[in-house]
Chain A
Amino acid sequence: MTTLLRTEDVRKAYGGVHALDSCTVEVEEGSVAGLIGPNGSGKTTLFNVVTGYAKADAGHVYLSGKKITNVSPDKVFALGIGRTFQLTRIFASLTVLENMLVASRNGRSAARRHAMEQLEFVGIAGHHAALAGTLSYGQRKLLELAYVLVADPAVILLDEPAGGINLSLVNHIADRIRELNAAGKTFLIVEHNMEFVMGLCDQVTVLDSGAVVAAAYLGEDPDPEDADPAEDE
């Protein structure tokens, strides 16, 4: 497998707080990678640095070997990295379909058709004409996933996709991720729901205080010489 996304010795501090400290994370192409760790361990900060929402103080971010450190969010998206947020961020005053079209680069009719396909895929096509602000929290999660898919990104960063939603919707989202991954999409997922992570991810990286403390490929046979604290738990 080749490395699609890589952060190398990334550092980020807010005042005296080191949110990321020499953080190196690799995501293999075609994999579902999990990023776990306690609150404040730097998971979302790493997402922000990768997607251009925060500037790295030091270190680099690479996508397919190309350096994309501190590139603006619109360019990062154009390069093929889409993301969702821990607290869903949708365009509340636009309709569901209009939300989908914001990220689209196709012509009008092709864009609408593609957007409707994605809405069908996540299961909220019936609400395409509703204002996004009227959707429930779970539906917003699905919408956020759908409009990231519109531009067909190479790698998708999901920040707590299972957070704050019921079990059936968690399973629904997991199924969608699995199908997309089978179709070749690469994922990096921040999640506190360990059942969700262990059921979905090929590789897991553990962050603490901004640094990687463990990393493992879940599909491999455990090596007693290289015990992984994450799996021990």
Chain B
Amino acid sequence: MGSTVMRTQRATAGLALIVLAAAAVAFPLVFSSPVITNYAVYALIFVAVVSAWNVFSGFSGYISLGHAVFFGSGAYTVGIAARDWHVNGVSVFALLPVAAAVGAVIAVPFGLVALRVRRHTFIVITIAVFFIFQLMAANFSFTGGSVGVAAPFLPWNPTSFNDHFYYITLGCAVVAIVIAVLVRRSRFGLQLRAIRDDEDRARGLGVRTMKVKLTAFVLSATVSGLVGGVWFLYLTQVQPPSGYDPLFDLSLVLMAFLGGLGTIIGPVLGALIIEPGQLYLTIRYTSGYLSEILLGALFLLVALFVPRGIVPTVGEWVKRLRTRGRPAVEAVPAPATASPPEATGAPASEARR
């Protein structure tokens, strides 16, 4: 009976996934307007990067406000490499693995320093490193200073330009989500979640916490660097304030918190809600500040009313409906029935050997 229900649930989930995949692939064919596909490309960029962020911050509980370092460095890497190595045309996409590698290489010393501390101190260090990178990008000559770096020209028809990037960013999003799923299901993911609950206890159970945290940090940075490279090629330029944007990390945090920190679907849902909304407000009200004010207000509302995020909250409602009138967990088990047959059940005082 139970296995039949499970098989039905799996079949339903599989069918939903196929429908979702078909809808995602058909999206630019149905909505061919560049305005709409522009929204979709940005949303998918953030789906990818927030999923990568979630692999580290969501699972481990270490809230990073420094992922713009990897994202921006990925963007700069593609731009600088294309410029200095004279890479043009679609060959520039071959530089994306370099962007990912640079993200990973930066994450190692960054993580070795930042992951020695916890909670608020960790957050402060990530912000500090972020500003160091922003200042370096603005002041070094090889980064183009405040002018930044421009992307090489892509020989694509302007009418299908967004469609190409739609499928590229869709691929990035799928890869990032699959990584998040694999990590969550693995022993490594279990150790990360144990660290989130009680890091010292996890150490006492043999978890090499520094190694686990650093691996997740580097993995997350690798994907962020790669997506940063794609973002740069789509935007065709990067400057210090856009590559290393403080709002970038705040947006990631808000997306994850709104959808459900540490879940797979939550951050994806958060990105699909917030990024198009933010983009719409920025385009509609060109002053630019309205979207930031609303972003801050939304942050407060989420913290007050759905602190665990949409997905866990809705999940809890559904569970309550299903278990209405029944306790979720039964009372303390009766020791006599739980004992193996050979257990005597005699009081401790009577059993002195």
Contacts and interface: CB of A to CB of B under 8 A. Distances in A.
Real complex partners, A and B? yes
Q: Which of A93, A175, A219 has the most CB of B within 10 A?
A: A175
Main DSSP-derived SS at the A contact region: helix
Contacts of B198: 89-91
A218 B352 CA distance: 9
Given A130-B329, A136-B331, A200 B348 contact: yes
Interface in A170-211: 170-172, 174-176, 178-179, 195-196, 198-200, 202
A72 B205 CA distance: 11
A206 to B, nearest CB: 18
B328 interface: yes
Contact of A77 (B206, B332, B343, B345): B206
Interface string A93-117: 1100010011111001000000000
Interface in A116-174: 120-124, 126-127, 130, 134-136, 138-139, 147-148, 151, 166-172, 174
B59 to A, nearest CB: 11
- Size class of A's contact patch? 35 or more
Contacts of B201: 85, 89-91
B340 A179 contact: yes
A72 B203 CA distance: 8
B200 interface: yes
B190 A98 contact: yes
Interface string A58-90: 000000000000001110111000110100011
B332 A169 contact: yes
A51 interface: yes
Which bucket holds chain B's interface residue count? 35 or more
Contacts of A174: 347-348, 351
Contacts of A196: 348-349
Given A101-B187, A102-B191, A199 B347 contact: yes
B321 interface: no
Interface string B301-345: 000000000000000000000000000111111110111101111
Contacts of B331: 136
B204 A77 contact: yes
A-B CB proximity, top 5 nearest = A123-B338, A172-B335, A199-B348, A174-B348, A103-B205
Interface of B: 187, 190-191, 193-194, 196-198, 200-209, 262, 328-335, 337-340, 342-353
